[in-house]
Chains A and B, each alone.
Chain A
Amino acid sequence: MVRNYKWFLGSLLLLVNLFGQVKLSVKTIPKKVNIILDGINIGKSPIINDRITPGIHKFEIAKSGFAPITYDILVNPSQAVHLDFFMNPIYQVKFKTQEKGLVFELNGEHLWDDPFIRLDLEAGDHFLRVFKLNEIIDEQTIHVDEPKKFNYYLKKLISEK
């Protein structure tokens, strides 16, 4: 009798646990990306009909050649949650200038004065600032949509031509 009672309680707990969970589907572009949920690898995308408990969770999605994604989500106690992640690729970019004495700053973070450098940049717009003798001489947004080389040129004054 006691054993039956324990078995019943165990089954009830299992049922509550199962039905308290939410169906989870995760799709990514590109496919076949490792999905890490709360520090545990739950497999490669696409993930269909996995389970997740209601509450706050953290997704970590990383693939070589793409910018990693960290996503915090509050899962409501619904029947299913579908998540779509679009990963942004990282392109190898070369930046070259023949101008002398220029210092470049990208996105307010990276600073360099070499005439030629290689950068790994996330696809999208980046803010370039150019300094000469500690003064800003140019600002512009550069659009990175493929691995490419940027050649920077100063605008010459008419009198200098």
Chain B
Amino acid sequence: MKKLPKYFLFLFLGSLYSTNLEPTFLVLNHFDKFLPNADSSLIENFSNSTFEFDSTFQILFEDIDNHENPAASHMVTIKELGEKYQVNYILFNRIEHINDRFILNGLLFNTRSGGLIHRRKIDLKQYLNGQINELNMWVGNTVGQVEKNWENNRKSILFSDPEEINYQKTPRGAAIRSLAAPGWGQAYSGKKISAGLWASTESSLSIAAIISFLNYDKAAKSFKKNSKLYHGTNDEKDVANYRTAAENDWNDHVTFSALAIAFAGATGTGWVANSVHAWIVGPRAYKNLYQKWDPKSPNTTG
């Protein structure tokens, strides 16, 4: 047998007594679950209203969508209630819970005409104090008083716009860091081993390139010096020595030049590769999924 939902109906009168021009509301809350703070929340948030509670109305406006003309279907009742409670408007709020969602159906009636003025239906995933928050927003919209924190509270359950998601660490950040200092991007991504490898490789290659260049420079200078000495002497022995030295310097200068170019090229290529690697292994959101079923247990599916 289907369990009948428990209906908790609160009837309260919100009268804005501050000036005679302010509208007065009779608020009917019709919830399928008891919301303990609904009444106190409205009293707190709409302090310029006075509330009265009544539970004489059991199921009101339940079948409003089944009427041919729903806006006018309860005209007489609305007018009677308006006269009885001396209010300008009747606000009817129904909250239904379906699994992890709730539906707020709000209806605002004018007691002078008896007609339906505004209607709002909200279908939302449940969030902390969501029902109360949505109720406040709907009532606030009606009376023109919506607080920013209610809107922020509602936004807190919504998934982020992909374009608005900002990560503290990004692959681009890692790539830039590695471009500045090899290995920094990998370290920033928490890849300590590859950070160490890149840093040591790049520093070794850089040192080798620098040493090669210094040796090349030294050989070139020595070659010039020995060439000058070679041309400046007539001594046969010295000529032979300077010639041999100049030839050695020339060979060294060619070798170290090639080595410097090779090491510098390797350093530059490695530098760029290290930055690309930092981007590839850069920090990205991930989640490890592990098999939930126990492989030892028999298959339980039908």
A79:B159 contact, CB within 8 angstroms: no
User: Is B117 engaged at the interface, CB distance under 8 Å to the other chain?
Assistant: yes
Residues in B115-174 with C-beta less than 8 Å from chain A: 115-122, 124, 141, 155, 158-163, 165
User: Is A13 engaged at the interface, CB distance under 8 Å to the other chain?
Assistant: no
Closest to B116 in A: A78
Give the complex CA separation of A81 and B118 in angstroms. 6
Further pairs besides A76-B116, A145-B160, A149-B285: 5, Cβ < 8 Å: A78-B115, A78-B119, A84-B120, A88-B159, A150-B287
User: Is B70 engaged at the interface, CB distance under 8 Å to the other chain?
Assistant: yes
User: Is A142 engaged at the interface, CB distance under 8 Å to the other chain?
Assistant: yes
Q: List 26 A-B contacts (CB under 8 A).
A: A65-B162, A77-B70, A77-B116, A79-B110, A83-B120, A84-B120, A88-B159, A89-B159, A89-B161, A91-B162, A124-B159, A136-B301, A137-B293, A137-B295, A139-B292, A139-B293, A145-B160, A149-B284, A150-B288, A151-B286, A151-B288, A153-B288, A154-B295, A155-B293, A155-B294, A156-B295
A136-B299 CB under 8 A given contacts A29-B155, A130-B291, A148-B286: yes
Contacts of A148 in B (CB 8 A): 284-287
Q: How many A-B residue contacts, CB cutoff 8 Å?
A: 117
Contacts of A138 in B (CB 8 A): 291-293
Chain B nearest Cβ from A142, distance in angstroms = 7
Give the B interface residue count (CB, 8 A): 40
Interface digits, B210-246 against A, CB 8 Å rule (1 contact, 0 not)? 0000000000000000000000000000000000000
B71 contact from A78, A155, A157, Cβ within 8 A: A78
User: Is A112 engaged at the interface, CB distance under 8 Å to the other chain?
Assistant: no
A146-B160 CB under 8 A given contacts A79-B117, A81-B119: yes
Interface size class of A (residues with CB under 8 A): 35 or more
Kindly name the residue among A29, A65, A89, A152 whose own CB sees the greatest number of chain B CB atoms within 10 A.
A89
Chain B nearest Cβ from A25, distance in angstroms = 9
A30:B161 contact, CB within 8 angstroms: yes
Contacts of A153 in B (CB 8 A): 288-291
Kindly name the residue among B115, B120, B124, B287 whose own CB sees the greatest number of chain A CB atoms within 10 A.
B287
User: Is A80 engaged at the interface, CB distance under 8 Å to the other chain?
Assistant: yes
User: Is A109 engaged at the interface, CB distance under 8 Å to the other chain?
Assistant: no
B141:A146 contact, CB within 8 angstroms: no
Give the complex CA separation of A74 and B65 in angstroms. 9
User: Is B72 engaged at the interface, CB distance under 8 Å to the other chain?
Assistant: yes
